[in-house]
Amino acid sequence: MVNIPPVTSFIKGQRIQWLGHIMKRGECDTTKLVLEWKPQGRDPGEDPGKDGSMLSKKI
């Protein structure tokens, strides 16, 4: 058989190379800013009672 790596391994390797390329860019580069962005506020899929905020409203 031919010694060809699986497609998934190739794609993962390409992603890692792309990430390294992006991380070398400047601090003000849009792609890097989007990659490192952390959303603020509450997650809309989060359980409303998970943080205890709903406990006082159940009474």
pLDDT at 14: 93
Digitized pLDDT (tens) for each residue of the chain, 59 residues in all: 678 878 999 999 999 999 998 888 888 899 888 888 888 877 666 666 666 666 655 45
CA distances to 33, 34, 43, 55 from 47, in Å: 29, 26, 9, 12
pLDDT at 5: 78
pLDDT at 11: 93
Task: Give start and end residues of each alpha helix (H) in 1-59.
Answer: 7-23, 30-36
pLDDT at 35: 86
Sorted by sequence, the CB contacts under 8 Å of residue 54 that are 6+ apart come out as 48
Is-above-0.85 flag for pTM?
Answer: no
